[in-house]
Amino acid sequence: MLSTSIERLEQIEAERQETFYSEAFQQWTSSLNVSRLYSNPEPLINAAQMNKEYNYKGENKVGILSKIFYL
């Protein structure tokens, strides 16, 4: 099942590329003044998640646990 979904994703990407480079689509976007810029939000989401998980105080979880159990 996983290979089928990967094949489908590749097919969708090929269709997207074909549509994007077609002359009719290019004329349609220029007539509507649609921007050609696309921003993938995934790297920003991943960076935010990594920042949430990182401890900026310089202590890791093992260090914190050792202090708790020492007391």
If you average pLDDT over each of 39-43, 55-59, 62-66, which comes out highest?
A: 39-43
pTM of this structure:
0.41
Which of 43, 40, 23 shows the shortest CA–CA distance to 31?
23
The tens digit of pLDDT for each residue in 2-56 reads 566 888 888 999 999 999 889 998 888 888 887 666 677 788 888 888 877 776 6
Q: Is it the case that residue 62 has pLDDT exceeding 80?
A: no
- In the prediction, which pLDDT does 18 show? 93
